[in-house]
Structure 1
Amino acid sequence: MADVKALLFLALVCCSALAVNIKSKGRLNSNEADAIAFLDQYNSEYGPILNQYVIASWNYETNLTDENAAAVGEAGAVAGAYYAEASATAATFDTTNFSEDTKRQLSYLDSVSLDDAESEELYNILSEMGSIYASYQACRSNPTTGVNECMYIEPELTELMAEVGNYDDHLWAWEAWHNGVGRQLRPLYLRYVELSNKQARLNGYADYGDQWRQKYETTEMETIVQDLYSQVEPLYKQLHAYIRRKLYNAYGADKINLRGPLPAHLLGDMWGRFWVNLNPIAIPYPEKPSTDPSPEMIRQNYTVERMFRTGNDFYTSMGLLPVPDTFWNLSMLEKPTDGREVACHATAWDFYDGKDFRIRMCARVVFEDFQTVHHELGHIQYFMQYAFQPLNYRDGANDGFHEAVGELMSMSFSTTKHLNTLGLLNVPDDPEVDMNFLLFQALNTISTLPFHLIQDTWRWSMFRGDIPDAELNDQYWAEKARVVGVAPPVGRDPASDLDITALFHVCNDYDMIRYFMRTFFQYQFNEVLCEAAGHVGPLYKCDFYNSTAAGDALAEMLRLGASKPWQDAMEAMTGQRDVLATPLLNYFEPLKVWLEAENAKNGEFIGWDLPATKEKAPVFLKDKLRGKLDVTSPKINKEAAKYLAPIFAEALQSLRKVRL
């Protein structure tokens, strides 16, 4: 998703002049009227420049040619130069006595760029990493036909990884992708870390991870995410044990250890991020009607366009805004068949002119993509609702809010009630069918929580310099094993592999804590909108379709954009300011009870034995204690006490393993 903040690294040139008459020299300008005039000019001039950059980016990502890449660089240089000069002008104001709104708008411009050469280098690195990811093909001789075949990540490798049963195909695809992409990206990524850290420090942050966390306008982000996960971890471990048994049944004892972590290549996608494609082997009551409408979509001759029009109807039924007419002929909804190389990862685009909004996606007629359609339309709805705001406010209250809106609507769309309404399901009101549905939802939600958490907590440690370069990949998989209970299917080379980079979000400079936070936000929003819609009964049966009351409540929050701290936006919608785990736990409580009983019946080991490691000391200890304990105080605070006991027990266990 393109946004204003993504252009910070594009401040390549500072030589072109911004026609601003109010720029002070020497003494800071304390006249708020001058600042407001500057912001008005910035909004009117930068919007069209930004629009041209996004158009160039769109042209490149829907046709990956060197010519289009050069055009992105040229448009980025113009946008970066303007932004850099505007930032310099914003810094000339003394905002002490300004209104909160003027202060907030100026704060988004308060940034310092790297010098021209390093800015250009960072831009080129990001461009090259994105291109490697999008254009890489894994090639082999087909084991059945003997014909040489090459596969992109979308859709060929994605479809291969979604199929359950062929262990060797999955192993080949996983290794080919991670070796082919991760090893190319490693040296580029290490330099990206250096430059991103340097730019973050120029702007007063401790490192780039600190800059990411500060987007949430709190210094307690690391504590918040760990506290949230500690509440849902018991549910995840029950799901993990249940899935491990199902994989054991599918692949056999020689492939699955019933006390060990899960092999990363058998979880339904290239990264083990979403487990939803395991539903065919995981469904609790397979004799009951399926809650996956994919076969019925095929039978009814659904097309990709029909999927998007159905999604658009879901939003408009709530009184929300329809996509503009231009959406239908300017978006890329399916993979082109004209031979172009394109970036396929589903993304929603705001062109910053208040009228052009598009989705780029290589959609297929399957339910998983139908859900993604509703998710991406959630981003579009957010764009349209805050399009009247000044440029610096045209963003979500935080990145997690933006993701939560789409996922929330996708979840409501996916209820058996709504799919029955669409004629895509015909399932009775049956507790066993409900359990099938809840398990399906958990494979799309609960499975992602430790994955998203580790993607960023590990990167936060890396940005801080806590992990030596030679140990990066080993430490990454050690953390994956410890928290997620997942292990690589083959040995990894610490000198050449950096497997975390072989994911779209990582090599394209996205934090992933947005997806972790969005999960909690989405269930918190869900409870409120269900109440507004007048829903009675279990939360997992709630459907917002045709509820204008729910639409009004959602739109009120969306229109705020980034004009207020996220806590204010949360309060406007939910009546309280904190992010909570209880709405998610309430939603999945029936599943948790069922999983506990099922796992106990089968004698499952809850948790997993960690693989042997050469690690000298638990690197996570410092991270977990960071900010928990005031070592200058003779008294341990309650929060520290809550963490110290399990951490020291964990550390002692690790040290014992080292001695052995």
Structure 2
Amino acid sequence: MDAFKGATVLMLFAFFTRYACCDEYFRMGVNTNSAEALQFLREYDREASGMCYRVTISQWKFVTNITEYNRRRMLEELALSSKFERLSWRKAAAYDASRLPDPQGRRQLMRVVQASRAALPDDKFTEIQQLITEMKEIYNTAKICPYGQKPYDPHIPKMLSNQDFMTNQYQLASNPYQHYQPHQENTEYPNYCDMQLDPEISRILAHSRIESELLYVWKSFREQTGPKLKNRFMRYVQLANQAAVATGFRDAGDQMRTAYDDPSFRTSAEEVYNQVAPLYKQLFTYVRRRLVQRYGEASVRGDGPIPAHLLGNMWAQNWKSIMDLVMPFPQAPNVDITAEMLRQGFTPLRMFQMAEEFYTSLGLKPVPPEFWRGSMLVRPPQRSVQCTASAWDFCNRIDYRIKQCTEVTMQDLISTHHEMAHIQYYLQYAEQPQLFRDGANPAFHEAVANAASLSVYNLQHLQRLGLYQNKTHDPYEVSMNFLMSMALEKVAYLPFAFMVDQWRWSVFEDGVENMNNRWWQMKLRYQGVIPPMPRTESDFDPGSKYHVISDQEYIKYFLATILEFQIFEHLCLASGHTGHLHECDIYRSRDAGRLLSEIMQPGASKPASEIIRTMTKGKTNKISPDSLVRYFRPLELWLRVQNRDEPLIGWSSNYHDVALFAPQRGSGSSNTARVGILAALICLTL
């Protein structure tokens, strides 16, 4: 390994020496030698693939065996990768891409230049990387005390036995909607202040129906993240903007949006959101009434916004955990095949084999042998690992892996198919240059993986697999329960996924003043959600969302959720499906597989608009929400009936709502009037 590392360093040194010499390379578009530019791209492809492999393997070793040694090795590789990125950017930025006769070469050069922050001076480039690393570490190590307990007392030694712990876990898995019981002040649990977001805090928010406990964990997690992150984030904003301006953009938000090849991207995204907002408001209105029934008008106003801690999720972005409160037909089942999987003796390996067979039944590629040898499909014993499910491309056209601590549950079966879809995407575009081994735009990878998962969720598909039989319940009631569950996951997510980057772009454009106030303004405007307690600028609630502080754009998740239904509908059309979209199963359809392959094979070598045009047979080249609306049409009709007596579809805000987060700079009538005007403006946008 050391010999290999030494050879790699020498190779990179030669590459850097040849292509990074003088200040002239900081000037954009000076070099018009197209032959030299193409030679650079050929050499970049080879070197970037090797660097990508080294970084990815070091990251894999760390997350599958978390030790200090593996962490140091990973940081070493990341540092070397940063140097490679900077020096590659300098060379690419020196060329006039418009003079290249090859459009693919132009596209590759622009991808090297546009997404990087390498235009910063060395010290500032290092600083922004360090800031992001520090913010991630603060976030990932945030811990809170259990509800109702004092800090750690070493005189409370009693722990649950392993058998009791496993029994509790099995009961939770078999009945996910049972009420989570808060810790009591007794000796049954040690009061360690070591509760992390995943799984303890998330589990409480999902399963507790005790409002004081929900408020406690919501507040405590934000106290352990936002205030510690705020100053670092403000400096990050400053540096990100400097990098963007030096690269030729107006600000860092403008630089982020360039990946979508759409000069009117913000307007296009807003138009898409406006088309799905009526469906969201119908869902919101129905859910609010059920929450009023559960918690009372003192907690949830009948025509107002919903307090954020009552929706089953730290950020109120996914409402699926409150399905027990809003199920349309409680006497009919909410489909969960976990018990049947256990009865049939499913194992994690069998789940992955089933996922592979799903894609090969479409005529797609089987995974290579390296996948089965290298993947981490279950939690390994006696070592610390990071369990978040993810698919990995090791950039060598051979090695692809999945990391997932799989358990035999329906949710993990869906996750397995989702991650296997990413692997299929890697396999389909494997022959593309390194710069094109990615989705057509940042939304495509998630959209394709979710589109395939929509078929696996499907009741017809589960019946074909022998995992679900409905012999006693009304099919309409079962279908409405299914669609409600999907809407709580997909439709409820849309306004949150849309507003995160609306807020981030506003910070890049307008500065860091009143960041927290603007965050809650947008949550109220788009989600109809308010904080459950007063917030000030010292709180920095956006810092409670990992993607904000880890420098990961978020609008792609909004577009991916829209696009997944658009892709799914066209796969269903290719398969010959007729009837309701939510009843479509593309399993074993070679025609659907061919279309899916056509979507994936180009990778990022073509603009997303071209791939969408091909997928839709020329009908459109834009991401459209029409398919999502059609998918949920039966549920929307049902919701309209349920909401027919509601005085307001959506929400109205008043002075008290806005006063929870509006900056209090004055006092008396002038301050009341200012907050009242803000409330009125927010109402006008609903």
Q: Is this a same-fold pair by TM over 0.5?
A: yes
What is the aligned counterpart of 1:440 among 485, 496, 500? 485
Contact persistence 1:15–1:81 (CA under 8 A)? no
Match of 1:490 in 2: 533
Question: Closer, same or farther in 2 for the Cα pair 1:360/1:505, shift >3 Å?
Answer: farther
**Deviation of 1:467 (Å):** 4.9
The question of whether the paired residues in 1 share the 8 Å contact of 2:460 and 2:585 is answered with yes
The equivalent residue for 1:46 is 48
Residues 304, 148 of structure 1: alpha-carbon distance in 2 compared, 3 angstrom cutoff: farther
SS of aligned partner of 2:651: coil
TM-score for the superposition, normalised by structure 2: 0.83
Greater mean deviation of Cα atoms: 60-69 or 152-161: 60-69
- Structure 2 vs 1, CA of residues 153 and 243 (structure 1 numbering), >3 Å: closer, same or farther? same
What is the aligned counterpart of 1:541 among 561, 572, 583?
Answer: 583
| 1:109 corresponding residue in structure 2 | 112
Match of 2:403 among 357, 360, 379: 360
Q: Deviations over 1:157-203 (max 9, x none)?
A: 22222215233332222222221122222222222212211111111
Stretch moving more, 105-114 or 236-245: 105-114
Match of 1:449 in 2: 494
Aligned partner letter, 1:544: I
Q: Secondary structure at the match of 1:104?
A: helix
After superposition, the C-alpha distances for 1:203-234 in whole angstroms (9 at most, x for unaligned) are 11111111111110112111111111111111
SS in 2 for 1:399: coil
Secondary structure, aligned partner of 1:359: strand
CA RMSD of aligned residues (A): 2.8
- The Cα offsets for residues 418-474 of structure 1, whole Å up to 9 and x where unpaired, read as 111222221267222221111111111100110001111011101112551xx2112
Q: TM-score, normalised by structure 1?
A: 0.86
Specify the SS of the correspondent of 2:579. coil
The AA in structure 1 aligned to 2:638 is: W
CA distance in 2, matches of 1:67, 1:214: 38
Mapping of 1:159-238 within 5 angstroms? 159-238=203-282
Give the match for residue 131 of structure 1.
137
**1:571 to 2:617 alignment:** no
Asked if structure 2 preserves the Cα contact closer than 8 Å seen for 1:268 and 1:274, the reply is: yes
| Distance in 1, Cα, partners of 2:84 & 2:37 | 17
- 1:106-151 deviations in whole A, cap 9, x for unaligned? 2122254322222222112222222223333322233263531432
1: CA distance, partners of 2:290 / 2:91: 60
What does residue 70 of structure 2 align with? 68
What SS does the corresponding residue of 1:397 show, helix, strand or coil? coil
Instruction: Identify if the C-alpha distance between structure 1 residues 201 and 365 changes in structure 2 by more than 3 Å, giving closer, same or farther.
Output: farther
**Cα distance change of structure 1 residues 379 and 29 upon mapping to structure 2, 3 Å threshold:** same
Please tell me the residue identity of whatever aligns with 2:127.
Answer: E
Identify which of 430, 438, 456 aligns with 2:475. 430
Written as runs of structure 1 = structure 2, the 5 A alignment for 1:575-654 is 575=617, 576-601=620-645, 606-610=650-654, 611-613=657-659, 615=662, 654=680
Does the Cα contact within 8 Å between 1:22 and 1:34 map onto a contact in 2?
no
In the TM superposition, residue 571 of structure 1 has moved relative to its aligned partner by 1.2
SS of the aligned residue for 1:138 comes to coil
What amino acid maps onto 2:636 in structure 1?
K
Q: Contact (CA 8 Å) 2:303, 2:647: kept in 1 or not?
A: no
Q: Does 1:525 align with 2:567?
A: yes
Residue 525 of structure 1 aligns with an amino acid whose one-letter code is I
Q: Pick closer, same or farther for the CA change 1:312–1:174 going to 2, 3 Å.
A: farther
Query: Take 2:264 and 2:447, find their aligned partners in 1: how far apart are those partners?
Result: 21
**Contact in 1 for aligned 2:653/2:680 (Cα 8 Å):** no
The aligned residue for residue 506 of structure 1 is 548
SS in 1 for 2:145: strand
SS state of the match for residue 477, structure 2?
helix
**Paired residue type of 1:244:** R
Instruction: Sort the Cα spacing of 1:506 and 1:307 in 2 relative to 1 into closer, same or farther, 3 A.
Output: farther
**Equivalent residue in structure 1 for 2:323, among 279, 283, 288:** 279
- How big is the shift at 1:362? 4.2
Per the alignment, in what secondary structure is the counterpart of residue 632 of structure 2?
helix
Question: 1:604 Cα deviation (Å)?
Answer: 6.3
Distance in 2, matches of 1:539 and 1:562, equals: 29
Partner of residue 398, structure 1: 441
Q: Corresponding residue for 1:297? A: 341
Moved more, 512-521 or 360-369: 360-369
In structure 2, relative to structure 1, the CA distance for the partners of 1:473 and 1:66 (3 Å cut) is farther
1:376 equivalent among 412, 415, 419: 419
Structure 1 residue 335: Cα displacement: 4.6
User: Deviation per CA, 1:528-562, whole angstroms, max 9, x where unpaired?
Assistant: 11011110111110111111111110111101000
Structure 2 residue 578 is matched with structure 1 residue 552: no
Change (3 A) 1:97 1:339: closer
Q: Is the 2:291–2:300 Cα contact (8 Å) retained in structure 1?
A: yes
User: 1:108 aligns to what SS in structure 2?
Assistant: helix
Q: Mean Cα displacement is larger for which, 573-582 or 26-35?
A: 26-35
1:381 shift after superposition:
1.7
| Structure 1 residues 251-305: Cα deviation after superposition (integer angstroms, max 9, x where no partner) | 3333322222222222222221111122222221121233232343344444444
1:440 and 1:212, CA in 2 relative to 1: closer, same or farther beyond 3 A? same
Structure-1 separation of matches of 2:422 and 2:356:
12
Residue 130 of structure 1 aligns with an amino acid whose one-letter code is: K
Describe the shift of the 1:489–1:311 C-alpha distance in structure 2 as closer, same or farther (beyond 3 A).
farther
Corresponding letter in the other structure for 1:511: E
1:592-631 deviation line (CA, Å, top 9, x unaligned): 11101011156665324351337599xxxxxxxxxxxxxx
SS in 1 for 2:224: helix
Provide the rounded CA distance (Å) in 2 between the counterparts of 1:295 and 1:607: 39
Distance change >3 Å, CA 529–CA 500, structure 1 → 2 = same
Alpha-carbon deviations, 1:62-99, whole Å to 9, x = none? 44444433323321222222232222222343442422
Between the aligned partners of 1:362 and 1:15, the Cα distance in structure 2 is 39
Kept in 1: contact 2:658–2:679 (CA 8 A): no
Report the CA distance shift for 1:247/1:331 in structure 2 as closer, same or farther (over 3 A).
Answer: farther
> How many Å separate the matches in 2 of 1:419 and 1:410?
12
Which residue number corresponds to residue 386 of structure 1?
Answer: 429
Point out the more displaced range, 189-198 or 531-540: 189-198
Choose which of 106, 119, 143 in structure 1 pairs with 2:184. 143
SS of alignment partner, residue 151 of structure 1: coil
With over 3 angstroms needed to count, the CA separation of the structure-2 counterparts of 1:34 and 1:606, relative to structure 1, is closer
1:461 aligns with 506
Aligned partners of 2:649, 2:418: CA distance in 1, in Å?
Answer: 35
Provide the rounded CA distance (Å) in 2 between the counterparts of 1:32 and 1:242. Answer: 60
Contact 1:136 1:152 in 2 (8 A): yes
- Letter of the 1:522 counterpart: E
1: CA distance between counterparts of 2:328 and 2:683? 37
1:91 to 90, 93, 112: 93
Could you say if the C-alpha distance between residues 74 and 343 of structure 1 is closer, same or farther in structure 2, counting changes exceeding 3 Å?
A: same
Q: 1:44 to 1:15 in 2, by over 3 A?
A: closer
Which runs of 5 or more structure 1 residues have no equivalent in the other structure?
A: 1-13, 618-649
State the alpha-carbon separation in 2 of the partners of residues 55 and 113 from structure 1.
Answer: 27
Aligned length, in residue pairs: 609
Query: Match of 1:563, SS?
Result: coil
Whole-angstrom CA distance in 1 between matches of 2:584 and 2:437: 30
Identity of aligned residues (%): 36
The equivalent of 2:161 in structure 1 is none
Q: Secondary structure at the match of 1:600?
A: coil
Looking at structure 2, the residues matched to 91 and 605 of structure 1 have their Cα atoms a distance apart, in angstroms, of 52
For residues 458 and 579 of structure 2, what CA distance do their matches in structure 1 show? 13
| Alignment CA distance shift 1:609-1:654 (3 Å) | closer
Contact 1:20-1:38 within 8 A present in 2 as well = no
Which of 432, 455, 464 matches 1:421?
Answer: 464
